[in-house]
Structure 1
Amino acid sequence: MTDTNIDFASTMEKWAAERDAENKENRANLLAQLRTLGLTEVTAEYEGYGDSGNVEDITLQPSGIALPSELSNQLDDFAWAFAYQQHPGFENNDGGYGTLTWNLTKDSIDLDHADRFVDSTHSYHEGL
C-alpha cells in the first residue's frame, strides 16, 4: 500500500540539500579545469518557459579559448543547475531568463534573473 503520509516539506529540503552539495562539487571541479585553461570569466545566458529551457549561450574570457566538448556540456549543466537552485521552477509557464557571470579569479558568481508572468487588471461597474 502507498504511504500517504509523506512530509513534502522535508522531501523538498532533502532534494535542495542534495542539489546544493552536487552544485558545490561541480563548481569546484569546473573551477579547477577552467582556471587550468587560463580562463578568467564565464558568462552564461539561460532561458526557460513552457516547462523546458536551456543555456542559450556561453561566453568565455579571455576569448579565443575553446572548451573540450565534455567540459562545455558540464559547464552548460552547471549554469542551468545553479540558476535553477536559486529560482526553482522558473522554467514553468511564462518562464524566466537570466545571465550567470562567474568570475573565476575570485570564484564569485553573479546571477541576474527575471521571471515572466501574466498580469491583468479587472474592473466591474454595476448600475452606472
Structure 2
Amino acid sequence: MADNSKTASEPRPPFSDWEAQAALQSRLEADLFAINKATLFDALVFTGVTTIIVTFDGYGDSGQIEDVEVKAGDDNIAMPGAMIAFAKTVWGQSEPERSTVTIATAVENLAYDVLERTHGGWENNDGAYGEVIFDVAKREITLDYNERYTASENYMHSF
C-alpha cells in the first residue's frame, strides 16, 4: 500500500514574483499606516482637535466622503490647516513616496485606507455607508460600517 501523505520536508513551490511583491507591499502598507496614524494624532493633539467624524457613502461603483466633522470637545471647529509628513506605498518600490500634506488630506487618505483594508469594494453594487471616527484621546480610528445588499426570496407552490 502506497503512502500518499505529504511530509514536512517536501519543498513548497516558490513564491511568484507577484506574490513576493504583494507580500512586501502589504508589510510596507501596514508599517506606513501606523506611522501616518501616529503623525496625524500627534498633530491633532497639538491643534486641540478631540474627534473627527468622516461620513462616507458608496454604491453603483462609486463612493466618496460625504462629510467631515471636526470637534474640540462638544464644539464643532474648522479643520486645522497644518501640514504634516505623509508616506504612501508605490507598487514595485521598496521605498515609500513621501510628501507633506494638510491634516484634511491625511484624514481623507487614512479613512479611505481603513475602508479598503477591511472592506475592499465597499463602493460597488449596493455599496456601503457609515463613519470613520478618529478619537484623538484614545489614538484610535474606528470604522462604523453598514453594508447594503439586495435580497431575493423565491417561493414556488404546486397544488
| TM, length-normalised to structure 1 | 0.79
Does the residue aligned with 1:22 lie in a helix, a strand or coil?
helix
C-alpha distance in 2, partners of 1:112/1:47? 12
* Greater per-residue helix proportion: 1
Give the paired residue count.
123
CA-atom RMSD, angstroms?
A: 2.6
Q: Choose 1 or 2 for highest CA Rg.
A: 2
Contact between 2:115 and 2:122, CA under 8 Å: does it hold in 1?
no
Q: Which residue identity lines up with residue 117 of structure 1 in the other structure?
A: Y
Q: Which residue of 1 aligns with 2:63?
A: 53
1:89 equivalenced with 2:102 (yes/no): no
Unpaired stretches in structure 1, ≥5 consecutive residues: none
**For residues 92-114 of structure 1, what are the alpha-carbon distances to aligned partners after superposition, in whole Å with 9 as ceiling and x for unaligned?**
11111111112101112222111
TM-score (norm 2): 0.65
Q: Percent identity?
A: 26
Structure 1 outlier segments of 4+, above 3 Å: 5-19
* Separation in structure 2 between the aligned mates of residue 115 and residue 10 of structure 1, nearest angstrom: 32
Q: Given the superposition, is the C-alpha separation of residues 96 and 14 from structure 1 closer, same or farther in structure 2, using an over 3 Å criterion?
A: farther
2:156 corresponds to 1:124: yes
Label 1:92 to 1:15 Cα distance change in 2 as closer, same or farther (>3 A). farther
Change in 2 beyond 3 A, CA 1:55/1:7? same
Q: Which runs of 5+ in 2 are unaligned?
A: 1-14, 83-101
Alpha-carbon distance in 2 for matches of 1:72, 1:57: 12
Q: Pick the structure with more strand per residue.
A: 2
